[in-house]
Amino acid sequence: MKRAIVVLLLSVGMLLVGCGDASEENIDLYMSRDYYNTLMNGLETDCSGTVNVRINVQDYGSIDLELYGDKAPITVRNFVYLAEHDFYDGLTFHRVIPGFMIQGGSTDGLGYEGSENTIKGEFSANDVDNDISHERGVISMARTGQSKDSASSQFFICQADSTYLDGSYAAFGRVTDGMDVVDAISEAECQYFCSACGNIFSSDDGICTNTSCIVHTAWTESGTDYSNTYCEKSSPVDKIVISSVEVLG
């Protein structure tokens, strides 16, 4: 997967036919046909309705969720496929913003990388009828910049209502038990993360401390403040590890 920042298109951070129809003619425009067929026909779990999963977080506890295969069939199948293949085991919640969300599923622990396959973005701005609202406890998919069909493995759980994301991100389930765990994770001590260069740092002003980074040089040389665009206090000081994701059925 190309090096790209998988983030939500938010100012604070920088944030066809009926979905699930196996007869779609435009699959190749947004995801691998082979992977689409795998998701639709090659899973151990029946994802046609509600699927229950559990995210086990080291030192924090468990988060139980129900995923809605009738609302976001490709997204749910993708998450279940990755869980069935132990993809999330050992990955982290790399992005934590209290009063907003916790985000995990990045293979490099920074948010630049995900799984090998990308999927259809199942939200209204991408011509998909998905009425799940981004309320507290809802799980949704992160994606790359403006690309609507770029979600892979990175997901986020809303710690607070974030309904302004409705229609632009693929919500696909909600927490049924374990919001206390989500709240505890959201309170983790964090350092700044610079999405322009990947630097993790401590700073009083939030300006990247990497002297070769455009954010740092633009600030020091011209006084232009790029901190609100590229730097956010969101990288946990201590790793928050996903021990496993269980598919309960």
Q: How confident is the model at residue 2 (pLDDT cuts 50, 70, 90)?
A: very low
pLDDT at 29 over 80: yes
The CATH number that applies at residue 143 is 2.40.100.10
Residue 174 within a domain? yes
Residue 223 within a domain? no
pTM higher than 0.85, yes or no? yes
Domain that holds residue 100: 6-190+237-247
DSSP 189-225: -EEEEETTT--EE--SS-----TTSHHHHHHHHH---
Residue 140 CB: number of other CB atoms within 10 A? 29
Residue 207 within a domain? no
Residue 212 within a domain? no
Question: What tens digit of pLDDT does each residue of 78-91 get?
Answer: 999 999 999 999 99
Residue 91 within a domain? yes
**What are the DSSP E strand ranges found in the chain?**
6-7, 50-57, 61-68, 93-97, 101-104, 138-141, 143-144, 155-158, 171-177, 190-194, 200-201, 231-236, 242-247
Total domains present in the chain: 1
